[in-house]
Structures are given as structure tokens and as C-alpha cells.
Structure 1
């Protein structure tokens, strides 16, 4: 037995890490211009987002349905109690799918700025995952006899859903549906419809 086994283990771990990792590359930050992209004719686009209050731990979600002109169809917001951001993102996708289905759409595209939520819906999930039931419900809705895709986008392309999710705390508990455009969302929708771009810093 070595005199200091923890030092030996640490040394081996560092050697393995250095041997299996590629040399670090220098990434140069650059600015790209992003905007909301309308769906093709006949397709309903669902944008969703989740929000969490860091102080209270309360989570909420919001989303909206739009056509190929960027015109408002319907929207929703929902207060969900205490939870995680990922939970809020998944509930947003669930309620967005539910609203689109109940509204009679059968060709839909879902967009979320949560890469983790999108990845969970496109891969197999172990039954011990803490959000397994919610993930499974979302997957069942995606596969429920219609043309449905789920895609990750950046926050700069998802501003309207982000605003709805953030404003959810202003409304009552449970799910709130909006048939008319909320006044606080009008300018954002107009900007999306004409393709106004928003800046994002990325590393190339």
C-alpha cells in the first residue's frame, strides 16, 4: 500500500484526463443576428418557455401558437408551484402541444430555447429520471397521430414565449388561455412578424 494513496489516485486521474482530452482551442467570440422564423404554409408553430423565480423557487411556463405570417392564433400561461427550470420548460412544451391539439392543428412545429428539454424528448429516458412521467407525457403527445417536431432555438428567437412565461406570475393559479393578443406582447409579435433581428454573442 503506498504511503499516500490519495495522492497516487489523484495523479493517475490527472494523467488520464490529460491523455484523453483534446488540446484546448482558442475560441473567438462573434456576434450573430437572430430572428424568429415563421413556419411554412399550413403549419402551426408553437413557441414555449419556462421561468423560475430564484428567490421563491416558483416556476411558470408560457407559450403561443402562430401561423406562417407570424399572426397570433392562441396563447397560454401557467403557474406551476415550486420546481426546477427544466420542469417549467417541459410543462411549457406539454401545454403548448395540448393547446395545439385541442385547437385542431395536426401539423405543428415546437420550438424551445431549452436544449436539455429538447434532448430529453428526442432520446430514450431512464425510468428513474425525476421528471420521467412528465417527459413521457410530452413524448406521447408528440407521437399522438400528427406531424409534430420539436426543435431547439436560441432565446433571441423565442422572445414572445419568454415574455409570456415571465408574466405568468401576474395571472391566477393554473392555466390561463389567451384568445386575443395580450397588450404586453403586441410589440414583440410585430417585431417577430417582420423579422426584426436580435444580437447574440457566440464562440466560433
Structure 2
């Protein structure tokens, strides 16, 4: 793990515990949609595919800090793969948020691969990716907001966007 300290006796202790069958207790995480802070809008997007590649759609919702519905959306993305459906859905929703003059945006997507692609350190590191144009469009749109943050969301907290897709 990056940033974790290397403590040999702790590693040995953990390895012995695992060998005995002593597994650490699982943490319980409550999952649900949370409103954004005052002055922010939360954007949840979701992509769906029937087959891979297959018929795709994308949907999402913009809500304010009181949980009020600003805009919902859904569209057919044609026949492609899930990664492309997720990227197109996000790109279109970022354009919508920008057109609605939203300045402070928190957006959540349950596709961890999209979060990882967009959060990678160097903008140039995806130039050889087959969908680099879509990835870079999303990155540049994100920069057009006064404040924007991208987060991975569990499917359970993204249920409304899932229904729209």
C-alpha cells in the first residue's frame, strides 16, 4: 500500500493471525445519498449496458444542498461498451451543469474505472487510450467549474441515477 509504513513485526503478527484463520472483523459502512454542502450541487450519473458491447443508456440527476431535484436526464447511448456509456453520460451531464451556470459541483459515479481514469495524475497519460478524446473532454469540462470534485459512489447511493439509466 502506498504511504503505509513498513513494520516487519506487525506484518509477521498479521501473517500469523491470518494463517490461524483469525480474520479481522468487518467494518459496517452505512451507504446512502447525502446532500452536498450549501452552495454546491451534487451530480450522480449512471451508465447501463445490455451485453458487452450492447445497447447502452445513461442517466443521472442534479440535486441541490437541500436534496431538491434540479434536473434529471436519461438517454440512449447506442451500441457500445459500458466504459463509453459512462464517459458519454458524464460528459453530457457536465455540459448540462455548465450550461445551467452551476459553479460548485460534486459529482459521483459508481464506475470506479472512470474515477481512476479522470483522477490519474497526468492529463497526457491517457493519450494512447482508445477513448482519450472522451476522457480529456471530461477532464477539461471539470476544470470549467469554480470548484469540482469527483467521487466514487456505491451503487446503493446512486440508485436514483440507476433508475433513470
Residue 112, structure 1, aligned to residue 119, structure 2: no
CA contact (8 A) 2:105 2:145 kept: no
Residue 59, structure 1, aligned to residue 65, structure 2: no
Match of 1:94 among 91, 105, 123: 91
Q: Which residue of 1 is the match for residue 35 of structure 2?
A: 38
Q: Which residue of 2 is the match for residue 103 of structure 1?
A: 100
C-alpha offsets along residues 23-46 of structure 1, whole Å, 9 cap, x if unaligned?
Answer: 695566565431101001111110
Distance in structure 2 (CA, Å) of the matches to 1:66 and 1:83: 28
The residue correspondences of 1:1-204 to structure 2 (distance < 5 A) are 26=23, 32-54=29-51, 57-123=54-120, 124=122, 125-165=125-165
SS of 2:51's equivalent in the other structure is: coil
Q: Which residue of 1 is the match for residue 12 of structure 2?
A: none
Distance in structure 2 (CA, Å) of the matches to 1:27 and 1:100: 43
Distance in structure 2 (CA, Å) of the matches to 1:129 and 1:87: 12
Distance in structure 2 (CA, Å) of the matches to 1:145 and 1:65: 15
Change in Cα spacing, 1:55 to 1:148, as seen in structure 2 (3 Å) is closer
The count of aligned residue pairs is 144
CA contact (8 A) 2:56 2:82 kept: yes
Distance in structure 2 (CA, Å) of the matches to 1:145 and 1:74: 18
Q: Which residue of 2 is the match for residue 169 of structure 1?
A: none
Distance in structure 2 (CA, Å) of the matches to 1:94 and 1:162: 17
Aligned-residue RMSD, C-alpha: 2.1
Structure 2: 5+ residue runs without aligned partners?
A: 1-14
Answer 1 or 2: higher relative contact order, Cα 8 Å, separation at least 6: 1
